[in-house]
Copies of this chain bind each other. A is one copy, B any other.
Amino acid sequence: MQFSPLLAQLIEALRCLPGVGPKTAQRMAFQLLERQREKGKHLAATLHQAMQEINHCKNCRTFSESEYCHFCSSPQRDRSLLCIVESPADIIAVEQMGSYRGLYFVLMGHLSPIDGIGPEELGLKELALLLSGGTIKETILATNPTMEGEATAHYISELVKNHPIKVTRIAHGVPLGSELEYIDSGTLAHAFAGREQL
């Protein structure tokens, strides 16, 4: 290694970021050192604080530095609706839609026995507790339309059926603006099966 020990250490440490290999890490270190010392210091401080303070909301499991996230602590959200998603990023997608006003529950993943991710890891115990609270009238399963997402949705739907709560799954079909010619047959089959009378 031809770099100074601390620089080599910085390059190695940057490699913990996803998608960052040795060359990218080197470029990042150089750029920070050459032109962005202040931003680099700011990143170090923010990263330290975030790693220490950000935890999971006690209610919905999304990332939050306060005990309850701002959705769960907002008096303006409809507490009778619960949307179950795989990741905090999915909340953003649902919020951008602009029409959902209920609460969320974040699984932080999907069932994946190979990776050792079972019901426990997805917080389904906490979910069961929420469901038996009595305020929820409907749960909307908004896991990804992938094999694992579907399996997870199915598993959770069975769980919800133990309670007097309506359980729905977001619709599968052709996305707006797409062309039928290029839609895969699985999606098209779903779109046909789920056709609605006009």
Residues of A within 8 A of B (CB): 2-7, 9-10, 13-14, 16-19, 24, 26-34, 36-37, 39-54, 63-66, 69-70, 87-89, 91-92, 95, 108
Contact B43 A13 (CB under 8 A): yes
Contact A36 B63 (CB under 8 A): no
Contact B4 A63 (CB under 8 A): yes
Q: Give Cα A70–Cα B2 distance, bound, in whole angstroms.
A: 9
Chain A contact residues: helix, strand, loop or mixed:
helix
Contact B40 A16 (CB under 8 A): yes
Q: A48-B45, A63-B4 are in contact. Are A18 and B27 (CB under 8 A)?
A: yes
Contact B42 A91 (CB under 8 A): no
Q: A10-B46, A34-B108, A108-B34 are in contact. Are A54 and B18 (CB under 8 A)?
A: no
Which interface residue of A2, A24, A45, A53 has the most chain B CB atoms within 10 A?
A: A2
The 5 closest A-B pairs by CB, nearest first: A44-B48, A16-B39, A44-B47, A13-B46, A10-B50
Q: Give the residues in chain B near A17, CB-CB below 8 Å.
A: 17, 28, 31-32, 43
Q: Give the residues in chain B near A24, CB-CB below 8 Å.
A: 19
Name 27 A/B residue pairs within 8 A (Cβ), A-sorted: A2-B95, A3-B63, A3-B88, A4-B64, A5-B65, A6-B50, A6-B65, A7-B65, A10-B47, A10-B50, A13-B42, A14-B47, A16-B36, A16-B39, A16-B40, A17-B17, A17-B32, A17-B43, A29-B50, A33-B54, A33-B63, A34-B108, A37-B51, A41-B48, A41-B51, A44-B48, A47-B47
In angstroms, how far is the closest chain B Cβ from the Cβ of A148?
16
Q: A4-B69, A89-B26, A91-B2 are in contact. Are A32 and B10 (CB under 8 A)?
A: no
